[in-house]
Structure 1
Amino acid sequence: MKLQTLLEKAALYNSDFNLVEEAESGRRSFIKRFPIDPLREMTVEEYADTKTKDSFIYWLERKHILAGIGGGNSSKFGIYRAQNGDYCKGYGKHKVVLEGEILQEEFYALKEGIIQAIMLAKEDRISELSKLELPLFNMVLLKILNIYVPEKFFNVYSPPILIELGRELELRDDLLLPQNSVELNYEVLNSLRKQDVFSKWSNQEISIFIWDTFAERDKMIDEDVSYWLVGHTYENEGSIREYLLQNNRIAIGFLREDLSPYLNEEDMNDIIIEKEDSTAGQKALKQFFSIKEGDFVALKSTFTRKVDGKTKSVLRISGVGIIKSDAYDGYEFSESYGHLLPVEWLDKEENEYIGYGGYRSTINEAKNKNVINIAFMQEERGQDSTISKPESQQDNFPNNLVLYGPPGTGKTYHIVDRALEVIDNKTFVELQADGREALQQEFLRLTKEERIHLVTFHQSYAYEDFMEGLKSDGAGNFIPTDGILKRAMIEAMYEGVQNNTNNYTEELRFEQLYDYLVTNGIKQSIEFESKTGGKLIISHISVNENLVITSADAKTRSIVSKDRLLRVFRYIRLHDIDWKNNISFIRDAVGGSNQTRYWSVLNWILSKLDEEVEEDSIEIEGDEKKAVVLKALNEKKSFDFTDVKRHVVIIDELNRGNISKIFGELITLLEEDKRLTKNNELIVELPYSKQKFTLPPNLYVIGTMNTADRSIALLDTALRRRFVFEEMMPNPEHLESIGDEIDVEAMLTVMNKRIEVLYDRDHLIGHAYFINAKTDEEIISIVELKVIPLLQEYFYDDWEKIGLVLGGIGTSKEDPYIVYKEEVNVNDLFKQRPSLHIRALYRVKQKLSTQELMAIYD
């Protein structure tokens, strides 16, 4: 959103002070329960025992104070209590049980870190927070700081919103990263406060305005389901809440008549109007019969209450669940309780929300995004971890992975997740809570930074594109040019020499300036000043491409070699020599004579370095990062890949290329133990550039493979041995809520069973073909334009098999099948009856309806 648009909306915005006060009241209640001074005395039980429903992390996540921090798992709090009572850190395979002194030491460090973070924030030393390396997710730390230092932060923790605001407010680029969301929140708030429209707003007002305007939390809401608030109090019978929770049901009491006989009627609304007199009852029954399987439901009651002397509306939620059957399938009738539907209760805890009353009807469909989030979006339903997937094990991620399966199974979709998991799993888990768009934004950012490299193989793709090849420079010469893998290798390997890059860069600049003298010194008549003030020039270049230096009278000549001069340069840096006022150090560095002439050339080069000469005055060719890597390899310098940034090469459609031809010597280098710094590291010389090449351990290769193009069994054995293969098959369950009359899940399931029998499992049809469909019309269009052509390709126009996959073959166009057989009248077609066998003609209906698609699985 453009800053100008945001400011215009702010100028017209009317703050809801009930919400402002509620947010601030919640923050104060947290401070009252956990004052800052006694934090140092807090026990691990007070911090992490969620079963008491009164612990520090329970209040952070479950008490609806400020913005939510759902998503991820309980390891986001650093230390948490598992269901079995153990105190732990980490998750999944990295889960570690903490006991005794180790538990106390770990908790003491965590607690001190939190306190130190609060102190740093109070002193505006925000940039130092990252140095604490707290084991907390950013959103958790940000919420803690927002509670204890409310004047410095505001109640927006979503990285996509903060990044977008930061970009519009023209903050530093290095802040616009999910990893920097704490400092980014601080800087965004400061920048917003400088805008006139926000100058008198409280932090809470700004927060609520941002949430309302961006609706970022909408990403947590499934647009394909509805969210229902259903009452549980009958006019003459009181509350039936306990019955509903114990029996996993919702109910409405209007019209105490069993409506089962009418469920198959075409228009239930007409029957409801005919049988129920009251408008409220008609409305409630119509909504009841529109509830579908998968919709969310909450038991609610609304009333008013005096709060701080003011009358405020209150929404009380007494249970949250998911509907298990559509109204027409799961309907039951009870003489005592009326019309019933089955529910799986996710949360039976009672919560109240001030300022959200007004839902007075028996059934209300919640459409206000804030209400949906506070009432339904609590992912931890009395568990020690969220519903979301367990944290992936980044450290165990294979260096080489292939996702393979039939078309449309989501391989390319999931590769975004895998790449982000590899590069920074903590950030990946946090961004999952912000939805798919947040993950895509981070993926694009990393691609632009060249942390992720994407390539698609095809039949003409070659080694020269992937590794290196000779390409024309436009001047009649062919020069070695790096391919995508080599560029990725350089980027990744550079991380391993980062601790020494300053030294390497200085040396490279030094060497480049020396090479410049070799190439241009005579041509440009470059002169060198001696220590005594005399002038020296380059006489010529030796056969070894060293400088031959002479004086103006040309009486003597001396070689100044690159190697010896570089040794002098290193000696100066190592011993911090005052080279401008001294000359004797040259003999100490390399021995021999010609000190004056070595000093003269050295003086010219170092003066250029000190002056930081612009590259356009002295042309320095070559990519500096690449030069650093190659220099380190050539000089056999040590690399350190401990805790370095990770890089990913994504190869889409891996099996469409000639694997052996494209990979070349990489086949061997792919093995994890052959990578740089590993036990059996291999470094090879490339055929075109003659440069050294290896693969670093922080470079990951992830490929996708469509088994309909080529079976995994046909892959090069050497490649199969070096990759981990993960099968991705169709998952029709993802389609259960798509369509009205057409049961896409059933349709795809039976089609794939038939394809597996008639062909094989490599040519099934993936669920992704239908994943974005919403209506029956869209499903029909997908079958017409994508599925049928795909089947034609699979079965080479064998219409009998295609017809079998699609449910059968009709005898005429009127039959409810997609494929039908057309009889040929031989006598009408030919003057003489042919002796040849006349094959049957198969036709495909050009325009399909729900009837034909339902016939596939009925």
Structure 2
Amino acid sequence: MDSKRDELDQAIRTFDRDALAARVEDAARQAEQINAEFPLDEWPNLTLDRYALGHAGYKSSFCYRLEFKSPELGSISGGSSRKLLIYAKSDGSGWYFDQAYLDQERAWDDVRTGFVRAFELAGQGNIAEVDDITALRTGPALTAKTLYVYFPDELLPIYSQAHVQHFTELLRPTKAPALTPLTANRRLLTLVREDERFAGWSPMEVMLFLYGWADPRAGRAVMKIAPGEGARFWQDCRDGGFICVGWDSIEDLTAFGSEEELRAVFAAHYPYNGSAATVTTKARELWRLTQLEPGDRVVANEGVSKVLAVGTVIEPGYVYRPERPEFKHTVAVTWDESYAQTLIEPVRRWGVTTVAPVSATLWRQIRAGVSAGTPTAEGPVGTTEVEAPSDRHLRLVTEALERKGQAILFGPPGTGKTHLALRFAVWWLAHGRAGLDPLAEFGTSEFRRVLAALSAPSRPAETREKVGQLTQVTFHPSYGYEDFIEGFKPVKSDDGLRLELLPGIFKRVCRAAADEPDRAYLVVIDEINRGNVSKIFGELITLLEVDKRGIEVRLPQSTEAFAVPGNVYLLGTMNTADRSIRLLDAALRRRFAFYELLPDVELLEGAYVGRLHLDNLLNSLNSRVRAELGRERQVGHAFLLRDGRPLATEADLCAAIRGDVIPLLQEYAYDDYGLLARLIGAQVVDVEQQRLHELTDDEMVEALSAEFQVGLADQLPA
């Protein structure tokens, strides 16, 4: 706790408030402009058109001004427009509003009344009571930013509840209580004002400092975006400080409330030869522009191996530029051309995608290729250096473990459950361990070295148990309580074998964790559903609950007092094709958080073999599987990957189809070859002979291409 305070002291001492004066002034001007255009005394009679997005004149609306034209006041961009409470759907199908109302006018009456009441409460110094206004409850970020615009001294311009909690726990290193959004914001502001180190600081300065010191969004998105075919718009992008893409028949993306709304309009303009899967993929590429936030990175590429520059996204992010003759969808960036290079290994998928995520491995390669001796440009104030693209799975698993103490990764075969569990273990446990790389690439010798180091006792001379921070076990039908907790086991003696009461693996982990309460211990349980969990855990199932950690019980065999320390975490994996989570013991379901992993076609995006596009193949195949067998028996993306990369040759793809995918489908079909043919195609399955057709690799790829109609030509960028 003292070290955290020292770290904060140092950060405050080195924070240059004067350097941010211009940004603080810009924020004040933006707030003044909103106050002038939408004065408080006009709100009781404000019309829906003046408030909402989506209609013909929406660019003069309050919501447009708040989300897209006031970046210095803090961001509420990204996600769905549902956060704005009510808006006109861009496809002309009507209005979105809470279905508790009969129509948009009644919804707007209630929302407007809610805002008027919120302003009254804020003026009285009772902002926390705004959380009780039902009409505003589903728009916490919108409500918070609106109140900051009109009452800038009453709360901090931090609109994410998760970010508020993050900063609260840094300023006062205890678990922040679960408070409603504005109540939590006010609590953080109170902590700041009670701290003499922030004396005289404005809420805007505090916000800029907190994000600059400990941005919870560290590990930002990195996206590759091609500035036209053959990079023909690169000069425009470099000189103008933006990246641009086409699909110009689609107008301003800010008019769309969600990716689903965009997809419906996109399909009408760009049908891609009737391939629904391709439409979904390409619409997602375009929508990604709206999800980029300040501090994210853009890799401008030419072809499959040339990096032109890397840009840092700045406010306002996505901008539609109707004045451009073409390629009107843009994102504002600052460019750093020291990243310009030719990659040693071409990225084949770049040839058929315009906008695509950059993997952590590729981002490292790009960073390693920065011109020698050339300093890279810093991002905007308040951002942190990007070490690797963010991984939402790692963040969400962390949240699940912190909330419940134990979690289970579940999903169909091949969705990467064990892969994620081990990547998470390395990422989570290696932080702060000298000489261990938390971002080591899965499957490499470095990754195996880190796993071994985490599994070894950290203090062999001092700890009672020979276990490390990481313990891996696999449950199976014969695995029991005596293996996991304690039991009598045969051991060698001078007289031969004798039974001795020995601690099981979990008991040893708990003892070691008790010796090192400041260090997390993680038990990864593979195939957790294959064991009799109720029997394996026994009476200790109750002690797993977070509020019962540290409570002692007497073990029935040894009669020893035993407790599960608060720094012990369990992460299990289970295959839903073997057993649905609905069939798990109810006591287990209550005590574990569950995190589902489904086939992730984004990992295959842009990858192809011949004229067969892998993401579309998997999408189309799983559409059939869901219709015939249900979502729990889909085919995972891992079957089409090798060493984390999409299969690239006909031989590799056909080996995976014959050796992995078809046997899995045969197991699902229970020798029903009619069903198997409906899943994978009659050109692959001989229903009459109840066997597979003998196809060469070329014939197999052609058969799959014809069956699923997912040709490479459908995927060419706009």
Q: Shorter chain as normaliser: what TM range?
A: 0.3 to 0.5
> Which protein shows a greater Rg?
1
TM-score by length of 1: 0.37
